[in-house]
């Protein structure tokens, strides 16, 4: 008799990893969650703490520190490269000229829950005045597991970089966030074992979403 491998636990782990990554990324960027997987409510509740005054902007002007103009999450995925190898883009992922929220997770038929991973890239094009920028930096700095990074790339953009590492409910978390006067950018990798990106790699990926000039 051939044993049947249940995929319920891996699927639940994938959903948990994606939900956790989404909530974290939206908290750090201050974006509004709207995912159909149920994580949007949790994420949007968390993101209110990171919301500051500022005006919504649009990508595509090429100004240093602004969001690269991606026309789809598939295009974002091309930039992330090997970080999302073997992962599938979730249906609720969206990309517009004002921002994007793209999530990749292990396939639903993954048999081994210990190999489940998720990666989320989130960004919002937003013009932040000096006060709003300082508020956002303070909010992110206060988040659990966040470290402020002295990074010349951020300094050149009049921005601030952060990394985050941690564990929640057995899910490993590595994230990188950049705030500039023209937007907020985050890449977060989660996994039940080893993530596809460490914190420094996630930060490098976040920079890849930003116009460098």
Residue 13 lies in a domain: yes
Residue 129 lies in a domain: yes
Residue 184 lies in a domain: yes
Range of the domain at 118: 8-49+56-207
Q: Is the pLDDT of residue 8 over 80?
A: no
pLDDT digits (tens, 9 = 90+) for 109-123: 665 667 788 899 999
Q: Is the pLDDT of residue 163 over 60?
A: yes
User: What pLDDT was estimated at residue 34?
Assistant: 40
Residue 1 lies in a domain: no
User: What pLDDT was estimated at residue 30?
Assistant: 54
- What's the domain count of the chain? 1
Residue 149 lies in a domain: yes
User: What pLDDT was estimated at residue 13?
Assistant: 53
CB 209 within 8 A of CB 194: no
pLDDT digits (tens, 9 = 90+) for 18-37: 555 555 555 555 554 444 44
Percent of the chain with pLDDT over 90: 53
CB contact burial 158-196 (16+ within 10 A = b; e otherwise): ebbbbbbebeeeebbbbbbbbbbbbbbbbbbbbbbeebb
User: What pLDDT was estimated at residue 43?
Assistant: 30
Residue 2 lies in a domain: no
String of DSSP letters for 1-35: -PPPPP-HHHHHHHHHHHHHHHHHHHHHH-PPP--
Residue 212 lies in a domain: no
Residue 146 lies in a domain: yes
Pick the residue with more confidence: 1 or 153?
153
């Amino acid at each position: 008799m051939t044993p049947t491998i249940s995929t319920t636990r891996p699927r639940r782990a994938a959903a948990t990893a994606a939900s956790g990554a989404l909530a974290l990324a939206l908290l750090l960027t201050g974006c509004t969650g709207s995912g159909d997987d149920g994580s949007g409510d949790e994420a949007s509740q968390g993101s209110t703490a990171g919301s500051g005054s500022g005006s919504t902007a649009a990508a595509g002007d090429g100004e240093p520190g602004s969001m690269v103009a991606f026309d789809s999450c598939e295009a974002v995925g091309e930039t992330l490269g090997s970080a999302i190898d073997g992962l599938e883009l979730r249906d609720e992922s969206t990309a517009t000229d004002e921002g994007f929220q793209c999530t990749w997770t292990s396939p639903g038929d993954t048999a081994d829950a210990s190999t489940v991973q998720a990666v989320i890239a989130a960004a919002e094009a937003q013009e932040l005045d000096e006060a709003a920028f300082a508020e956002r930096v303070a909010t992110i700095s206060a988040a659990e597991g966040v470290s402020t990074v002295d990074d010349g790339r951020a300094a050149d953009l009049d921005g601030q970089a952060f990394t985050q590492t941690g564990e929640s409910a057995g899910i490993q978390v590595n994230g990188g966030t950049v705030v500039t006067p023209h937007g907020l950018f985050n890449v977060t990798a989660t996994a039940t074992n080893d993530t596809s990106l460490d914190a420094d790699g996630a930060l490098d990926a976040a920079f890849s979403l930003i116009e460098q000039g």
